[in-house]
Amino acid sequence: MKKDILEKGAIIQRDKETYAIAPHIPGGITSPAQLRKIADIAEKFGAQALKLTSAQRIAIVGLEESRLDEIWEELGEKPGAAIGMCVRSVKICPGTTFCKRGQQNSVEVGLEMDRRYHGLELPWKFKMGVSGCPNDCGEGCIKDVGLIGAPKGWNVMVGGNGGSRPRLSYKLVENVSTDEEALKIVDHLVQWFKAKDKRGRLGKYIDDVGFEAFRDEVLNGLKD
């Protein structure tokens, strides 16, 4: 039976014959030219549908396996990390770049996180969100690591996830005053998770050891 093809970013569909792929669109920020190219390729290769995903990508659905290499070559895009044990996505809200409610620059910070971590191999799947205000349109509340903007800086959230056993994230640090310091904390969390080598979502580990113990371990390591 056919399966997902990790190296081609291809996900087997319900018919067990065709695949969906999703070009990487950092933060869901695209251009008319990129949209035209995706639409033209979907038509050329007989895609069954174009689907806007929750990870701010456009999935091209219902493609033949034999043509995947050709499709990627014509797209000239990197696959979105929609499968595999890695940083799957960095969801980004419009923040102070576009939104009247933005309190922190989620676009700049989120795109930097995407540049650093998207597709990074880890012991388990890992998702991130960056929101410019407490309305949290980047859904840091259900991400392994999230940044949520507030008037005095960033709140760093950890341990959230959706899925069949959803959990809300915990506030690890609040009012981080600079983007650089927030990114430093995020980097520490990613490297900590990688070194810990636990097979499971970050939130499950936090539940197993208790949030207080987790917070002490992580923050003490940040000081070293």
- pLDDT recorded at residue 224: 67
- pLDDT recorded at residue 4: 96
pLDDT tens, N- to C-terminus, the chain (224 residues): 899 999 999 999 999 999 999 999 999 999 999 999 999 999 999 999 999 999 999 999 999 999 999 999 999 988 889 999 999 999 999 999 999 999 999 999 999 999 999 999 999 999 999 999 999 999 999 999 999 999 999 999 999 999 889 999 999 999 999 999 999 999 999 999 999 998 999 999 999 999 999 999 999 988 76
> Sign of the C-alpha dihedral, residues 76, 77, 82, 87?
positive
CB contact at 8 A, 20 and 51: yes
Which residue carries 């087997």 as its tokens? Answer: 12
User: Of 57, 64, 85, nearest to 10 (Cα)?
Assistant: 64
Query: How many angstroms separate the CA atoms of 143 and 128, rounded?
Result: 5
- pLDDT recorded at residue 221: 85
- pLDDT recorded at residue 77: 86
pTM score = 0.95
